[in-house]
């Protein structure tokens, strides 16, 4: 035990009334006991790469990377959240190991690393914990950030504690970051300039945007039938919505259009159901006969996007700093986003420059939705420009794969 462990214990005790409200699973694994989660299938003599993806968004970013790594290395994916673990298993269980990331107690990290024995570690986007970094450094395991991003908001937070955080940034063997703005922030936080590379975002690589605009898959059609969505009437989808956004979309939805909302947080499902009432809820398994629908399940938002005539990306009209708009655009949906997207500014700005997304304020949302629904050509053009923007920015996964394999062979 070290001094930092004591700080964690004290902080955890003080915060117990908050974190204890939510049921969490896998406490043995959270304390580093992951042996039962690992199989014996990994052959000896190959480099071993550990990839840490905090939750669902970071896990999804690994989709184009892992197929490039597994021919030459054993890959272990670790995640923090229950939803991230479930998503990682769904995507990667057939090709690599999936385990839970430990809490940053020194003994938990030690147990974890004793079992995993990585030759290098790739942290997706940014997730720095001092005991974990210290444990890797003691073992001579190089740690890098891949697909790195550091939003303006997060940067300001780190800067307030630069005296404590700078050492962690300096300890990174490499930081592969998404754009120049992020690179400047990583360097300002302590990453040596010669260890910081602009590599682009792997999120662009997650989608096949060649060929004609895709139609709804059989799974999407089954979802449409299960909810009772009328395929002859326009459908507006609010994806990853936050507080008060269901009400905003309900009031902005033009007459004659259908509205389906998918709240970002499961603990908001009941609130959203009240706002949209009467509405059909996916969780009930019963089709509705109205024009309001609630996707209150996990993992089906992509199917709903395939059915949309227009998508409005949520968490962008309040103070939650946006959601990632790549998925609906890649799936061929003309997409709008609110003006508060600071956590995804790089991605939204790239789409804006290419004319592949529209940024709209709350007061103008209803009029813009009506205009798009009345103009199929405008919708088609907006979606096509968005997919072209994605195609023009692909390639980061291959760059990251080369960096990780090089570090693993040196590790």
User: Taking residues 301-308, what's their average pLDDT?
Assistant: 97
262, 265, 269, 273 alpha-carbon torsion, rounded to 10°: -50
What SS3 state is found at 292?
Answer: strand
For residue 160, the tally of other CB atoms under 10 A from its CB is: 9
pLDDT at position 40, please?
Answer: 57
pLDDT at position 395, please?
Answer: 94
Q: Would the pLDDT of 20 be above 60?
A: no
Backbone φ and ψ of 201, nearest 5°: -105, 130
**Distances, alpha carbon 81 to alpha carbons 23, 53, 88, 117, 391, in Å:** 11, 9, 10, 22, 31
pTM of the model: 0.82
Q: Measured over all CA atoms, what is the biggest interatomic distance in the chain, rounded to whole angstroms? A: 65
**Residue pointed to by tokens 């938990």:** 108
The CATH code for residues 25-200+395-410 is 3.40.50.11720
Residue 41 pLDDT class (50, 70, 90 cuts): low
Pick the residue with more confidence: 379 or 32?
379
pLDDT at position 4, please?
Answer: 80
pLDDT digits (tens, 9 = 90+) for 83-94: 899 999 999 999
Q: Would the pLDDT of 43 be above 70?
A: no
User: Taking residues 147-158, what's their average pLDDT?
Assistant: 90
The CATH code for residues 218-390 is 3.40.50.2000
User: Taking residues 11-24, what's their average pLDDT?
Assistant: 62
Of the chain, the percentage scoring pLDDT greater than 90 comes to 77
Residue 23 pLDDT class (50, 70, 90 cuts): low
Q: Which residues are CB-neighbours of 276 under 8 A, at least 6 positions away?
A: 246, 250, 259, 261, 292, 293, 294
Domains 25-200+395-410 and 218-390 agree in fold: yes
Across the beta sheet with 280-281, the strand order is 280-281, 292-294, 258-263, 235-241, 310-313, 335-337, 358-359
Q: Residue 193: how many CA atoms within 13 Å on its side-chain side?
A: 2
Helical H segments across 343-392, by residue range: 345-353, 365-373, 376-391
Mean pLDDT rounded to a whole number for the chain = 92
Q: Where are the domains of the chain?
A: 25-200+395-410, 218-390
Q: Would the pLDDT of 396 be above 60?
A: yes
């Amino acid at each position: 035990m070290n001094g930092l462990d004591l700080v964690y214990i004290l902080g955890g005790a003080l915060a117990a009334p908050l974190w204890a409200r939510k049921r969490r699973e896998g406490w043995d694994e959270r304390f580093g006991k992951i042996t039962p989660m690992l199989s014996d299938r990994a052959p000896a003599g190959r480099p071993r790469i550990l990839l840490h993806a905090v939750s669902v968004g970071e896990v999804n970013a690994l989709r184009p990377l892992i197929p490039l790594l597994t021919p030459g290395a054993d890959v272990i994916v670790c995640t923090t959240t229950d939803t991230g673990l479930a998503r990682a298993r769904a995507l990667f269980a057939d090709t690599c190991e999936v385990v839970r990331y430990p809490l940053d107690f020194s003994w938990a990290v030690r147990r974890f690393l004793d079992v995993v024995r990585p030759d290098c570690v790739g942290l997706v986007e940014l997730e720095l914990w001092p005991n974990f970094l210290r444990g890797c450094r003691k073992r001579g395991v190089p740690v890098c950030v891949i697909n790195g991003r550091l939003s303006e908001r997060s940067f300001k937070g780190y800067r307030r504690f630069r005296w404590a955080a700078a050492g962690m940034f300096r300890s990174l063997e490499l930081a592969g970051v998404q754009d120049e703005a992020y690179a400047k922030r990583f360097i300002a936080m302590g990453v040596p300039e010669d260890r910081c590379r602009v590599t682009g975002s792997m999120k662009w690589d997650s989608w096949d945007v060649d060929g004609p605009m895709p139609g709804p898959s059989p799974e999407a059609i089954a979802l449409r039938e299960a909810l009772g969505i009328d395929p002859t009437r326009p459908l507006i989808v609010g994806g990853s919505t936050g507080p008060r956004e269901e009400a905003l979309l309900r009031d902005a939805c033009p007459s004659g259009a259908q509205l389906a909302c998918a709240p970002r947080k499961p603990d908001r499902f009941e609130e959203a159901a009240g706002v949209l009432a009467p509405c059909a809820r996916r969780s009930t398994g019963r089709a509705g006969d109205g024009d309001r629908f609630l996707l209150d399940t996990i993992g089906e938002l992509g199917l709903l996007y395939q059915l949309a005539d227009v998508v409005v990306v949520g968490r962008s009209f309040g103070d939650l700093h946006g959601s990632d708009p790549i998925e609906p655009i890649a799936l061929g949906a003309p997409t709008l986003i609110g003006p508060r997207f600071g956590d995804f500014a790089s991605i939204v700005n790239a789409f804006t420059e290419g004319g592949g997304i529209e940024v709209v304020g709350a007061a103008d949302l209803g009029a813009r939705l009506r205009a798009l629904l009345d103009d199929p050509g405008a919708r088609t053009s907006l979606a096509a420009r968005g997919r072209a923007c994605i195609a023009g920015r692909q390639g980061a996964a291959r760059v990251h794969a080369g960096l990780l394999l090089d570090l693993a062979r040196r590790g």
